[in-house]
Structure 1
Amino acid sequence: MPSATLPRFDLLGWAEEDIAHPYPVYRRYRENAPVHRGAPQEGKPDTYYVFTYAEAVHVLSNRRFGRDARAASPATGAASGPVPAEYEALRTLVENWLVFLDPPRHTELRALLGTEFSPSVVAGLRPRISEIAHELLDGLGEHREADLVEGFAAPFPLLVISALLGLPAEHHEWLRANALALQEASTTRSRGGAGGYARAEAASREFSRYFRREARSRRGGCADDARGDLLTRLVRAQEEGAPLGTDALVGTCVHLLTAGHETTTNFLAKAVLALRAHPQSLEELRADPELTPGAVEELLRYDPPVQAVTRWAYEDTHLGGHEVPRGSRVIALLGSANRDPARFPDPGTLDLHRPADRHLGFGFGIHYCLGAGLARAEAEIGLTALLNRLPGLDHGRQQVEYADDMVFHGPARLVLRTSDLP
């Protein structure tokens, strides 16, 4: 039962200051109710929030919990899937995202995509990733002040993913606009009701038409077709009999595009904020670039871009002192788990020399982020470019506006001084 002084936890309705810095809120629950039952809602399944590292790992790695709401509660209408049935295009898209699949479909699709994100493939992409970073900073550095999200952190990963998929760079603004519209249907952005879902449905229809057209243009190509992009390889695999229908192909492309850019955008913006708040760490990182890979891991632990992930109880189970009935929603708070002192000593300290340990910034278990290697490359290259190319990054005032989202967590705007000019 919740403490008399501890209100029912929810991912909705947070004050602006708590969105910007949720960790004191997490700490109160982690210390007093490490597994916390949310407020009951008529006609909806129970929700349990998990705040500790050990329990989060248990939920993310145990087959008693999965991603399919209908498999968890097939006999009721309470859990009808990740999207209401009336939003057909959005539902079709999301139900084909790797993150929402269980084995065996998850296993098949992940195996098909796995080689596309291998260390050798990512290494081959690093020169192009660096080019994109510096091209964006060429424009950003022309201004004394700039919105780091709009000018760099958002277009950078989107252009990388577009290059990976073989999409024209000039489409990136349209792609981002639709990707942001899709986010309107996420757990905490859909609080406005049907309006958010309607915008996401419209974006889903746009994406479906776009990627079906791109796929058609690649069908029946010659074996020596010079295009070696990921979308072309997926089309070829489909033509050669891979278990990948057109809905799954389209859903996979959209998932890679949206998940792959939103998380890196949030990471880069929040990494800059964290380093500005710790100027000694910032100067140390500038002076010793070899610290960058470890610094990225620590920054992912310290303030991860995804704060919460959802699973469903596939059977009656016991969790942190609670009897959790089948069909319940279980939400693992990754941001809280990454600050659990039982796993990370002095977790509220940003320590670029922290010994390597398995944070949950990329999740855990079979849904561990498929593109983690690419995301790390983007984070390392993007962060290094920012520190080297913007000498005024650690000076002057900042204007920060966080998105009203406790899942995909980060600033919607981050206006900074970008030069040393007086």
Structure 2
Amino acid sequence: MTTQTDRMNVKGAVSAQVNAAFAEVKALYQQLHQMPELPFQEYKTSARLAESLEALGYTVTRNVGGTGVVALLRNGEGPTVMLRGDMDALPIKEATGLDYASNETATAADGNEVPLMHACGHDLHSSCIVGTAAVMVGLTAQWSGTLMLICQPAEEIFGGAKAMLADGLYERFPRPDIILGQHNMPARAGTIGHRANSTMAACTNLAVTIHGAGGHGSMPAQTVDPVVIAAHVVTRLQSIVSREVPPEETVVVTVGKLHAGTQANIIPHTAELEINIRSFDNTLHRQVVASIERIIRAECDAGRAPKPPAFQVLNETIALHNDPMAVEHVRSAHAEHFGDTNLFDMPRLNGSEDFPFLGNAEAGGFGGDDIPYVYWFIGATPAERWAETPGTSVSQKMRHLEMPHSPYYFPGNDITLRTGMEAMATAALAYLA
């Protein structure tokens, strides 16, 4: 039976190990922040993380699913607990003004040179993986089992989790009993948000090419104008949410890109669209994607398009549904360590993650039963800034704060970094101790 004294001893031991490792982890974080890399190009990042984990005594395998890293610490009999952190950055020019701000650039898939920034905090997440690794090494007398750490590439394009799974993540390494992950967000630093069941949205990014028959702008009757067809498509797609989706469901259909033509007096041969679809139900999500394709085909027929439209799924992921029993187990561990006043009920987010592929046997393609997972959120806004921000709830205050993917977003303050290490370690110990 676990006593209050036992729990206090674990809390004190975790905090002591975090204190001992913190200076090196902070230095690692600042180094990673200065060298962001695009999805599947995380060569320097993955090498640096692998070196850190090897130095701690972990058995490390590199280049899993491309640039992914898997580290194992076997410590006797017991369950296998997997902790996941992501590594990739974004094509954004940093404007934080930090002394260690990124000045890096890279060549994107289209051949253009782009600026790079860790604008989503993946450098924080991977630093917390290394920090947690150090904490758990220092506490091996207090737990038993296998700790499995993964540093995952390409989360931003929903590619890294499936790439690691396809490369034998659960065949080459132990199949975990529980998967744990976290993400920073603009809540008060030092707090943690939990949510059971439906937590983050499924997402599909769909590219569409509408074909026309171009010609002179003065003779539209001699052409098939794909711009007019595209304009009808953009308008008609909005009827899916208002007329095909039940009112109690949340679905977003956004046309984020519409490109056609070169100048005013030329009717182009094609129009190109990119459409973003988000929902919280995987079955409904597939229905919405099918409706989009149906409407686009119908509008192309109505507009006399010479050939059918072309569709390409750029990337997609499934909805994130946290296991409710596992959430309660992890939340209780976090409450013991941080106190209930530093926990909050996480609102459902329309943002998306490829993390759920790691637990969904069918979607992840690894067979067998699903693996339970918990994905929580750590606050990244300093207390003074949080206090002066309008609103009373997390959702209200978030409307006034920089969000991930902003050139001004910076989650890597000391409190958030420390919280991320402690949150992962205490959650892991909840299953291993």
Specify the TM-score bucket, using the shorter chain as the normaliser.
Answer: under 0.3
Identify, as 1 or 2, the structure richer in strand: 2
TM-score norm. by structure 1 comes to: 0.24
TM-score norm. by structure 2 comes to: 0.24
Query: Which structure has more RCO (C-alpha within 8 Å, separation ≥ 6)?
Result: 1
- Specify the structure having the higher radius of gyration (Cα): 2
